[in-house]
Every structure is written in structure tokens, then in C-alpha cells.
């Protein structure tokens, strides 16, 4: 069972300006002359954290982390009134390309889980010549069936107790309809306390259901560490993407899989992932059979679960010395 690499600090960081007024936070750590790898965080709206550097051997990798538009240390932040209309999948792909060019990287390994797997696939299908490998976890293809499963009641059959907290902000008369749309109305409310309560419930639902074995102390710490600012970004940006179908055609990432057929890939999936059920990882593997699929039988969704963490580090280790 592989453990994290030691904690490290960035050797460089900054904000990359875009043509539409955004400033994308980025950082690099590890070996400046190492193999480039970019970590694509989840959410959308989740932002990056120091432990995400630790999936890579710092002696062999040049590790790039960045915060997507509107969250983390990117500016302007959603909690400060950032314009969500410029926050789209296409814009995020363009940001990644601008960052790659800014850092003078020819090709890089794309590593992402959950929404990070969505954006990682979308980026790779747009720029296949710039991707050396894909390491993906907790596959989310952003199909309507996946949204309905997790946000419109499917997962309630497994977590009925926690589901009640997710339903709590929604007026009773709206609970039999499209809950993503109901949350959109709450999160865009002119009353700050209404939006904040909805953001906490939406974010708390995901925090409470990501581990196979509940970790109350970690859930409590995550709730305390995140705070209203994180909750607003996480919930508002996620919901914005979901009401807009991820700015993708339904099934697009499987439809265009031939664009990445020659890119080496590893898929790591917890068998009991409730947030992003294994059906999507299986569908991706069937469409992209050259990618290795590792099913972790004692894991849920979180990348920090021991079996998932170990498989991800095994993948980055295996690719560390490959040149493409």
C-alpha cells in the first residue's frame, strides 16, 4: 500500500491573467526539470490543497497545481461576486492551455478526479498532442443520468439520513421536482442567508458521502476548514455547471473518445463510490480499452482513501520516467 510522498512547498507561484478579466492562481513544486504533471481539481469549485502535491515523486515530477475560475486563490472569487457567465468548460480548457504555454511546457500528464476527470478528458480531447498520459479517478462523465443519481434522489436510497439535510433548504412543494434547479434558485437568491444555507447543505452532502467508511472527525474538520467562502464557491460553481449540462453534449466525452485513443491512461475507481458510481468508469473503460482500469474494492469516492491513494501513486510512479 503506497503512502503519500513527503510534504513539499512550491518553488514558484503566481496569477495568470486571462483575456476576460480572470486571474488564475498557479503553483509549481517538485523538480523544475522533472516530468510535467498538472493536477486538475474537483468540484468544479473545489480548489487545490497542499496534499495534492503528494501524489507525485517530487524528485521526478514538475508538479503543477492551479485553481479553476472563481475558487481557491484565483481571482475574482465567487464569494466576492465573480461573474459566473464566463465560467464554462471551454473557458477552463483555454485557461489550462494558456497556463501550459505560460510555463513553457510542451506536454504534461493530466491527473484529475471526479470533476477533475471530466475536465481532464475534455482538455485531452481538445488538445491530445499536449497530453502525455491521463491518470483519472472517480470518473464523472457529466451525463444527465449521473446528475440525477446523486442530486435528484438515487443516492438517497443509500444515505436517507444525510439526504434529509440536503433536502432541508428546499421548500416542501419543490422536493418532488428537479432539485438541481431548486438549488439554483436558492443559490442565486438575493438574500445572502438563503444562499449561504443552501451552499452549506449542498457542500455538506458531498463531504458526508465521499468515504466508504464514514469519518466523522474528518467530516467535521472539512466543514470547519471550508467555511462559508468555500461553500459558496463549491456549491454555486457546481450548480452553475450542472444546470448548464456541463457545457457539453450528453455523452460527449464517450462520443469523442477516439481523440485520445493513443494516449496512455489509468482509471482508478472505488467500487462503492456513491458520488460518481462505477458505471461511468466501466463505460469509459469499455470505450477506451487501452486504458488500465483499477477497481478498488474497499473504497468510495475520496482520493485520500488508502486503496485509491495507493493506486494513483502507483500510476504516477509508473509514468514518471516515460517520455512522450
Q: For residues 24 and 36, is the Cβ–Cβ distance under 8 A?
A: no
Angle in degrees, CA 300, 167, 78, rounded to 5:
80
CA distance 255 to 269: 21
For residue 290, give every residue at least 6 positions away whose Cβ sits within 8 Å of its Cβ, in sequence order, or none: 261, 264, 265
Q: Closest Cα to residue 187, out of 244, 237, 241?
A: 237
Q: Catalytic: which of 41, 77, 285, 301?
A: 301
How many residues are recorded in the chain?
Answer: 324
Q: For residues 213 and 306, is the Cβ–Cβ distance under 8 A?
A: no
Q: Answer yes or no: 301 catalytic.
A: yes
Q: For residues 76 and 82, is the Cβ–Cβ distance under 8 A?
A: yes
Q: For residues 40 and 114, is the Cβ–Cβ distance under 8 A?
A: no
Q: Answer yes or no: 114 catalytic.
A: yes
The region that residue 257 occupies, defined by phi over 0 for left and psi between -120 and 50 for alpha, beta otherwise, is alpha
Angle in degrees, CA 120, 244, 289, rounded to 5:
35
Q: Catalytic: which of 57, 95, 231, 273?
A: 273
Q: Catalytic: which of 29, 74, 114, 280?
A: 114
Cβ neighbour number for residue 131 with a 10 Å cutoff? 24
Active site residues: 114, 273, 301
Amino acid at each position: 500500500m503506497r503512502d503519500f510522498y513527503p510534504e513539499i512547498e512550491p518553488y514558484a507561484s503566481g496569477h495568470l491573467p486571462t483575456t476576460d478579466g480572470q486571474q488564475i492562481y498557479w503553483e509549481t513544486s517538485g523538480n523544475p526539470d522533472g516530468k510535467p504533471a498538472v493536477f486538475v481539481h474537483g468540484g468544479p469549485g473545489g480548489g487545490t490543497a497542499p496534499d495534492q502535491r503528494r501524489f507525485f515523486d517530487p524528485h521526478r515530477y514538475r508538479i503543477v497545481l492551479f485553481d479553476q475560475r472563481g475558487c481557491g486563490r484565483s481571482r475574482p472569487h465567487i464569494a466576492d461576486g465573480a461573474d459566473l457567465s464566463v465560467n464554462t468548460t471551454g473557458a477552463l480548457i483555454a485557461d489550462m492551455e494558456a497556463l501550459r504555454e505560460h510555463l513553457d511546457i510542451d506536454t504534461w500528464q493530466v491527473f484529475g478526479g471526479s470533476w477533475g476527470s471530466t475536465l481532464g478528458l475534455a482538455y485531452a480531447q481538445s488538445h491530445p498532442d499536449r497530453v502525455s498520459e491521463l491518470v483519472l479517478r472517480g470518473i464523472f462523465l457529466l451525463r444527465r443520468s449521473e446528475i440525477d443519481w446523486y442530486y435528484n434522489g438515487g443516492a438517497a436510497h443509500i444515505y436517507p439520513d444525510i439526504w434529509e439535510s440536503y433536502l432541508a433548504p428546499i421548500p416542501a412543494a419543490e422536493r418532488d421536482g428537479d432539485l438541481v434547479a431548486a438549488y439554483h434558485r436558492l443559490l442565486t437568491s438575493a438574500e445572502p442567508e438563503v444562499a449561504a444555507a443552501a451552499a452549506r447543505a449542498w457542500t455538506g452532502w458531498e463531504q458526508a458521502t465521499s468515504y466508504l467508511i464514514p469519518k466523522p472527525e474528518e467530516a467535521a474538520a472539512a466543514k470547519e476548514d471550508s467555511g462559508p467562502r468555500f461553500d459558496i464557491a463549491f456549491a454555486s460553481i457546481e450548480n452553475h455547471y450542472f444546470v448548464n449540462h456541463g457545457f457539453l453534449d450528453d455523452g460527449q466525452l464517450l462520443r469523442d473518445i477516439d481523440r485520445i485513443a493513443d494516449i496512455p491512461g489509468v482509471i482508478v475507481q472505488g467500487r462503492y463510490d456513491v458520488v460518481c458510481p462505477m458505471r461511468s468508469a466501466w463505460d469509459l473503460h469499455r470505450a477506451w480499452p487501452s486504458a488500465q482500469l483499477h477497481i478498488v474494492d474497499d473504497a468510495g469516492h475520496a482520493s485520500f482513501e488508502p486503496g485509491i491513494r495507493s493506486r494513483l501513486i502507483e500510476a504516477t510512479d509508473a509514468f514518471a520516467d516515460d517520455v512522450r
